[in-house]
Amino acid sequence: MSKTYDVIILGAGPAGLAAGLYAGRSRLDTLIIEKGQDGGQIAITSEIENYPGQLLEGETGPSLVARMTEQAKKFGAERISDVIKSLDLSGDVKKVMGNKGEYLAKAVILATGAFPRPIGCKNEAKFVGKGISFCATCDAAFFEDFEVFVVGGGDSAVEEAMYLSKFARKVTIIHRREELRAAKSIQEKAFANPKLHFMWDSVVEEADGDELLSRMVIKNTKTGELTTVEADEEDGMFGLFGFIGLLPNTKLYEGAVDMENGYIRTDDNMHTNLPGVFAVGDLRVKSLRQVVTAAADGAIAAMQAEHYISNLK
Amino acid sequence: MLELDKETFEAEVLQAPGKVVVDFYGDGCVPCAALMPHVHEFAEKYGGDDLKFCALNTTKARRLAIGQKILGLPVIAVYENGEMIDSCVKDDATPENVEAMIKKYA
């Protein structure tokens, strides 16, 4: 029989790591399970400007996450790399089934976050890794002196476009509306960047090319007019990066906890409809999905989990 | 694991006998760094005379990578007779999928 933890946290993004830190400090026997890299979305974010107390210069997603991971470890949270296949969250002892084994806990905190929303154009899947990307920090270097297009108009899209402009010859933001949604301070920097260009009222309809992305069809959202963008003949390729929001990583919990459009419903204290099961960060129904709100969710859930466990005894 | 560069890739991968697994990674690629320890583990487990394990930092070999039609990381690829015969790219490059691919050639 495997050991029963006090609390298992699924996901090691800011929400999960903050929950791990608070649970560890409360001396709860804590296990964090992550399938990939610590940090989740923030681990592939080039620049972060709005987390209180962060470094004012040169803070990247990975550098912030590295400190969060250290902090959670310092207070004793155990961490395992595994992919979760199924869960049984209904009983007093929650069961989490992974590839490497079965894990048991009195309480579970769901912190599996979200993943990038696809661009939604024809042939998209075929060109991911062949010109289409959702990770500027992973793939920017391939496009040094090439042309790059960024889909989106929010903070992430504009920040990542500016990061890409350090590598690419020219970066064009393709946005479905006629003005950006990004914070004004970010917009000011973007409009002052000579490498950044804008294609307003536009969406990508189709991606194309031989093996590598070299052609795409753009649709004007107002007129419906279609135009084709071709790679410069000498280049023979271009990059297309998508930053148009996120989709929640909640497939595993379908039918187990209450959801709304794929996001998990909680109360103000992160309780789901199941006793001892909490949801935190980007995967829950909330108005603002940021590192700071994810971390706050994690802290609240850990304290609520402690309260729940002490009432079990 | 043999660390390649743009000078040694040709001889160690394209001209090499047997099958070669290449871990294409890059500076600043966090998913690559998270995957790498797993690939090292697979190298220990499945590596041998007929299946060699190598890694290439594409940040220092950009043109070479583009020549191999790689524009997104991480990529774990299997080569035989100078050709890429199989690969796991980006989100598909989970430790689980990579191991399943390697097992086919081990």
Q: What is the pLDDT of residues B52-74, one digit of tens each?
A: 999 999 999 999 999 999 999 99
Q: Helices A184-191 and A155-164 meet at what angle, rounded to 10?
A: 30
Is the peptide bond between B74 and the residue preceding it cis, with omega within 30 degrees of 0?
A: yes
Name which of A265, A43, A6, A267 is nearest A136 in CA terms: A43
Of A36, A130, A211, the CB nearest to B72: A130
Rounded to whole angstroms, how far apart are CA atoms A307 and B16? 61
Mean pLDDT within B21-42: 94
φ, ψ for residue A202, nearest 5 deg = -135, 145
ipTM value: 0.94
pLDDT in tens, A208-252: 999 999 999 999 999 999 999 999 999 999 999 999 999 999 999
Q: For strand A263-264 and strand A259-260, is the pairing parallel, antiparallel, or unpaired?
A: antiparallel
Q: Mean pLDDT in chain A?
A: 96
Could you say which of A44, A131, A138 has the minimum Cβ distance to residue B26? Answer: A138
| pLDDT tens digits for range A58-108 | 899 999 999 999 999 999 999 998 999 999 999 999 999 999 899 999 999
**Is 90 exceeded by the pLDDT of residue A194?**
yes
* Interface test with chain B among A119, A137, A167, by most B beta carbons within 10 Å: A137
What is the per-residue DSSP string for chain B?
-EEE-TTTHIIIIIS-SSEEEEEEE-TT-HHHHHHHHHHHHHHHHH-SSSEEEEEEEGGG-HHHHHHTT--SS-EEEEEETTEEEEEEEGGG--HHHHHHHHHHH-
**Residues B71, B72, B77, B83: what is their CA dihedral angle, to the nearest 10 degrees?**
-10
- Report whether A169 contacts A143 (CB < 8 A): no
Q: Is B73 on the interface with A (CB under 8 A)?
A: yes
Number of other residues whose CB lies within 10 A of the CB of residue A63: 12
pTM of the predicted protein model: 0.90
CB contact under 8 A, B72 and A138: yes
Q: B70 touching A, CB under 8 A?
A: yes
Q: Which residues share a beta bridge with A103?
A: A96
Give how far B30 is from chain A: nearest CA, Å. 6
**Contact B58/A129, CB-based, under 8 Å?**
no
Q: Does any CB of chain B come closer than 8 Å to the CB of residue A37? A: yes
Q: How confident is the model at residue A1 (pLDDT cuts 50, 70, 90)?
A: low
- The encoded tokens of residue A206 equal 């189709």
User: Residue B97's closest chain A neighbor by CA?
Assistant: A83
pLDDT at A294 over 90: yes
How far is A36 from chain B, CA to nearest CA, in Å?
6
Can you say whether the dihedral through the CA atoms of A281, A287, A291, A292 is positive or negative?
Answer: negative
Q: Is the CB of residue A48 less than 8 Å away from at least one CB of chain B?
A: no
**Contacts of residue A39 in chain B, CB cutoff 8 Å?**
30
